[in-house]
A and B are shown apart, each in its own frame.
Chain A
Amino acid sequence: MNLAIIKYNAGNIQSVLTALERLGLTAEVTDNAEKIKSADKVIFPGVGEANSAMKSLQQSNLHTVIKDLTQPVLGICVGMQLLCNHSEENNTDCLGIVPVQVRKFTSHGLALQAPATTLQIVGEEQEARLKVPQVGWNTIYNLKTNLFKGIAPNSYIYNVHSFYAEDSQYTIASCNYGLEYAAAIKKDNFYGVQFHTEKSAEVGDKIIKNFLDL
């Protein structure tokens, strides 16, 4: 298995690599277009701010490299958000691979411009006011595709994020934080997860293994 992790100016690349090493796997962290294109699988990590991450990709021309990939690609956190059309984070045009909008959680639990039908205040009255970012363990459900093979509905995964991908036909896992959003998305060979597989205990480890088995 020839596994590449895309190297660019965004955080958590080391923690993704460490997680793979923990599972006894090796990967090459690279910004070399040929190495990325020839890899069997590609992981596209990311933590931080979407606009500067996108600029970093453009400066190294990786944005066109990523769009043309045909092998399975897994975007994690901001990596997933960058696969989408557009992010509200500093009004950023993303890669446009998955036609989905990335929006900001608002502290009232109501997302800006979200359709009224998706609005749902969290259960306990005391928690009607959301803390942003969402930090901690939440559950995923409506699990689709082999990325979630063997994962029970309502398994807990670890999140740290202020922005989320809207629910759409490309959603392959749902999560609820004030409203229902896409915890994972898929279009063609591109997969993305909002949560941190590398910090989600055995559930995260299983999802990474599933990705490598795709």
Chain B
Amino acid sequence: MLAKRIIPCLDIKNGRTVKGTNFINLRDAGDPVELAASYAAQGADELVFLDITATVEKRATLAELVKRVAHTINIPFTVGGGIKSVEDVSVLLQNGADKISINTAAFNNPSIITSIANAAGSQCVVLAIDTKKEEDGEWYVYLNGGRTKTDTKCFGWAKRAVDLGAGEILLTSMNHDGTKAGFALDITQLLSDNLPIPVIASGGGGTMQHFADVFINAHADAALAASVFHFKEIEIPQLKTYLAGKGLPIRIRGM
């Protein structure tokens, strides 16, 4: 049976990991490649690199990093952050990224989803959505790293993106992100149950139970988290053993 995926997310700036980590066994915890290799060895199913560099050298630095990652790890990885064009995408894919994620640029120019899908296949297009539940009880799309509210509802945008050629949805609940109080189960389930493509739940994972909840109750295909993995509040091998014990299909490493 298809396994539920566990995905650590690494924030990158100028080729270095941004948030602190608690990987005392690493020679250089700021090196994304070493951190990636460590996660792969622990049994992460996939990795996401989110680049927040805002300089003009961004593209070259990121391409070099992607190349080093691809030559080091043997699991799939996604790269996102500031991708605006098909050319941005092809540089990343040529250097070894398996998928790219787009967010604001896709909202402002939805045809880029189709352009990327046509050039490289839907399987490599991960549409990232930052969403927030407002007082009216509806989930709205936010842009620019959560700084800009739109009047567009999350489900409608996700559905349209699927029609345009998105291959997966990376759904981050701004209400839950950073709280460690659990994932947003309602919006995750709405998307996962009604869209024909996988949904990666993000934001709020703080305990192993939260991961079980988002898989069992919200039917997420994958769950993403950053700091709980970086600071070893949750260790991936133990998390996977726990989830497998709940009867979930989980990839346990080994041959």
In the complex, A63 Cα to B72 Cα: how many Å?
34
Any chain A CB within 8 A of the CB of B246? Answer: no
* With contact pairs A11-B121, A22-B71, A47-B121 given, residues A135 and B94 touching in the complex (Cβ less than 8 Å): no
**Interface hit among A29-37, A85-93, A136-144, A182-190:** A136-144
Smallest distance from the beta carbon of B58 to chain A beta carbons, Å?
21
Pick from A18, A22, A48, A137: contact of B3, CB under 8 Å? A137
In the complex, A205 Cα to B72 Cα: how many Å?
12
Residues of B within 8 A of A (CB-CB), count: 34
* With contact pairs A131-B198, A152-B255 given, residues A204 and B74 touching in the complex (Cβ less than 8 Å): yes
* Cβ-defined contact, B198 with A136, below 8 A: yes
Smallest distance from the beta carbon of A176 to chain B beta carbons, Å?
7
Instruction: Give the secondary structure class of B's interface.
Output: loop
Q: Determine the chain A residues whose CB is within 8 A of the CB of B254 once the complex forms.
A: 152, 155, 202
In the complex, A42 Cα to B68 Cα: how many Å?
26
Q: Determine the chain A residues whose CB is within 8 A of the CB of B93 once the complex forms.
A: 11, 14
Contact with A along B153-197 (1 / 0, CB 8 A): 000000000000001100000000000000000000000010011
CB proximity to B under 8 Å, residues A175-210: 176-177, 196, 198-206
Any chain A CB within 8 A of the CB of B16? Answer: no
* Cβ-defined contact, A201 with B219, below 8 A: no
Any chain A CB within 8 A of the CB of B120? Answer: yes
* Cβ-defined contact, A15 with B70, below 8 A: yes
In the complex, A49 Cα to B120 Cα: how many Å?
10
Q: Determine the chain A residues whose CB is within 8 A of the CB of B123 once the complex forms.
A: 47, 133, 135, 160
Any chain A CB within 8 A of the CB of B11? Answer: no
Smallest distance from the beta carbon of A197 to chain B beta carbons, Å?
9
* With contact pairs A14-B96, A135-B123, A176-B1 given, residues A150 and B255 touching in the complex (Cβ less than 8 Å): yes
Residues of A within 8 A of B (CB-CB), count: 44
CB proximity to B under 8 Å, residues A71-97: none
* CB closest residue in chain A, given B70: A18
In the complex, A205 Cα to B230 Cα: how many Å?
27
Any chain A CB within 8 A of the CB of B110? Answer: no
In the complex, A47 Cα to B119 Cα: how many Å?
12
* CB closest residue in chain B, given A151: B255
Pick from A11, A48, A136: contact of B45, CB under 8 Å? A136
Any chain A CB within 8 A of the CB of B2? Answer: yes
Q: Determine the chain B residues whose CB is within 8 A of the CB of A204 once the complex forms.
A: 74
In the complex, A60 Cα to B121 Cα: how many Å?
23
Contact with A along B88-115 (1 / 0, CB 8 A): 0000011010100000000000000000
B interface residues (Cβ-Cβ under 8 A, vs A): 1-3, 5, 40, 45, 70-72, 74-76, 93-94, 96, 98, 120-123, 167-168, 193, 196-198, 219, 221-222, 251-255
